[in-house]
Amino acid sequence: DQQVKQNSPSLSVQEGRISILNCDYTNSMFDYFLWYKKYPAEGPTFLISISSIKDKNEDGRFTVFLNKSAKHLSLHIVPSQPGDSAVYFCAASPSGNTPLVFGKGTRLSVIA
């Protein structure tokens, strides 16, 4: 059973426009959510996170929104840049020293 779902395998966006990447989860015990960016043949790099006590966290061009009642979070990138083209993974963590649970990723292509 997939606990973290990214239902869009790919997304194409024009440079300068907004990119919205979505993620759904099923485990109500998750209390921290993270987004990672990954280039081919590299490890994931941390982008932004949000605690379950918040509904929004912003860092520069990146904003993560959390809707706990819907068990849904989204990553907004605005304005999108060609360098943002990568695979974005949504990850969730219950509390404690436990591993992250990842979604399958969404490949974002920002077209110049």
Relative to beta strand 72-77, strand 101-102 is: unpaired
Residue 85 in contact with residue 75, Cβ under 8 Å? no
Distance CA 82, CA 87 (A): 13
Site for other proteins (CB under 8 A): which residue of 16, 28, 46, 82? Answer: 46
Asked if 26 touches other proteins (CB under 8 A), the answer is no
- Cβ nearer to other proteins, comparing 11 with 100: 100
Asked if 45 touches other proteins (CB under 8 A), the answer is yes
Using CB under 8 A, which residues numbered 49 to 68 contact other proteins?
49, 51
Residue 96 in contact with residue 7, Cβ under 8 Å? no
Asked if 29 touches other proteins (CB under 8 A), the answer is no
Residue type, 6: Q
# residues near other proteins by CB under 8 A: 22
Asked if 24 touches other proteins (CB under 8 A), the answer is no
The length of the chain in residues reads 112
Shortest distance (Å) from residue 99 CB to other proteins: 4
Distance CA 92, CA 1 (A): 15
Q: Which residues bind other proteins (CB under 8 A)?
A: 9, 32, 34, 36, 41-46, 49, 51, 89, 93, 97, 99-105
